Amino acid sequence: MTSGRAEVKVAIVTGAGFSLPAGIPTQRELLYQIERFEPDIFQPGYLKFVQAKRVVNRFLRTIFLRDPDKDERSEQVVQKLGNLQLEDIYSILDRAISKGDVLPPFSETELVNVRDALDRCIMYYLNYLETNLSPEKQRLYERLYHKLLTDYGNDWIVISTNWDTVWDEVILSICRQNNLVVFGK
Tens-digit pLDDT string for the chain (185 aa):
445 556 888 888 887 788 888 888 888 888 989 988 999 999 999 999 999 999 999 999 899 887 655 555 667 777 787 788 888 999 999 999 999 999 999 999 999 999 999 999 999 999 899 888 888 988 898 999 899 989 998 888 888 777 667 888 888 888 888 777 666 55
- For the whole model, what pTM was predicted? 0.78
pLDDT for 143 equals 92
Q: 75: which residues sit within 8 A by CB, 6+ positions away?
A: none
The angle, 0 to 180 degrees and rounded to 10, between the axes of the packed helices 27-36 and 108-131 is 90
Q: 81: which residues sit within 8 A by CB, 6+ positions away?
A: 31, 32, 35, 57, 60, 61, 64, 65
pLDDT for 49 equals 97
